[in-house]
A = this chain, B = another copy of it.
């Protein structure tokens, strides 16, 4: 789900997740930028910090703004981010007078973090639905095969017989908890970022909280008391949850791999992967992939925690590292739920009656 695995057509299908890609697309992000600027100018007009007539006209102009992405792209390398180019274009589109009521007192980080908040919150909804589906399939599985018996194994050795229901419970239990956590955390993920150049909302004086609340409301986000420019714990907690979800599915995948071994035969899967050399062979592809995705996220989570050392009022180093890691973790996690669902659909039997 990295550049290679998303761009090379020979490997991309294994990792593809179009629904998630759409949430992080150029269109989605630039749409969120404009949504932020509209919400800001509207909120400032509301509290009377910008002229309401100008604001009205600027809002109308912004609604019609279609950014020229390639022209923005030309400045991105030098600026290290797309916002200066985007704002310059937006202001040029509005003209000097209207531009004076746009992007007032704010900064690139407010736009980018808030846009990610929207993408992450929507991703949370996708994860929520997919987790529900996986849990429903696991319930069906327990209903169909829970009464069967299989060998319980500890330290890779046969221990005592268990019910298949018990094994399935060990797959369900963490996912049920993580599903609940996901719902709880959504409001932490969907937080507006609003702090201005150095995070102290200095340009807004006593109106800062009011303006922040108004922007959040217009954007469907949650207002926070202060900016979280350097306080990335909400993002890290989201990353933790993502890796825990893929990790829980990795345990399921690992168990399925072990159960599918000839000689063990505790699970029967249909439609396994074919070998180019041995066409008779049925490889438990989705089960293996679940372990891969779990180990990928377990790797990334370390990088995300490194990014907590976010110096001063804004660390370009750490912020950029988040961009490289967190959206990918979202995609891997979301994909792992699809793969789990695929694996569940292939199960034809667990244990013995």
Contacts and interface: CB of A to CB of B under 8 A. Distances in A.
Given A79-B273, A236-B244, A251 B4 contact: no
A108 to B, nearest CB: 5
Given A10-B86, A160-B278, 15 more contacts: A3-B5, A11-B81, A11-B323, A78-B272, A84-B274, A157-B282, A233-B244, A244-B305, A247-B305, A250-B308, A250-B309, A254-B309, A254-B311, A264-B264, A289-B320
Interface stretch (A126-134, A136-144, A293-301): A293-301
B199 A281 contact: no
Contact of A173 (B151, B231, B309, B312): B231
A240 interface: yes
A26 B157 CA distance: 29
27 contacts: A3-B6, A5-B323, A7-B24, A9-B26, A9-B72, A10-B76, A11-B323, A79-B285, A80-B273, A80-B289, A152-B197, A153-B312, A153-B313, A156-B312, A159-B313, A169-B226, A170-B230, A236-B240, A247-B309, A248-B308, A251-B308, A258-B312, A285-B316, A288-B315, A294-B308, A295-B306, A295-B317
Interface string A64-100: 0000011011011111111110110000000000000
B296 A162 contact: no
Contacts of A317: 257, 288-289, 291-292, 295
B160 A292 contact: no
Given A7-B6, A76-B10, A77-B13, A292 B264 contact: no
Nearest to A328: B2
A276 B107 CA distance: 6
A135 to B, nearest CB: 15
B160 A197 contact: yes
B6 A30 contact: no
B261 A288 contact: no
Nearest to A165: B200
A76 B14 contact: yes
Contacts of A353: none
A11 B284 contact: no
Interface string A254-287: 1101101111110000011111111001111101
A271 B78 contact: yes
Given A277-B196, A314-B154, A324-B296, A69 B283 contact: no
Interface in A206-227: 226
A312 B152 contact: yes
Nearest to A315: B155
A246 to B, nearest CB: 8
A196 B154 CA distance: 11
A305 B241 CA distance: 11
A124 to B, nearest CB: 16
Interface in A314-339: 314-318, 320-321, 323-325, 327-328, 331
B3 A327 contact: yes
Interface in A146-205: 151-160, 162-163, 166-167, 169-170, 173-174, 177-178, 196-200, 202
Contacts of A294: 308-309
A286 to B, nearest CB: 8
A1 interface: yes
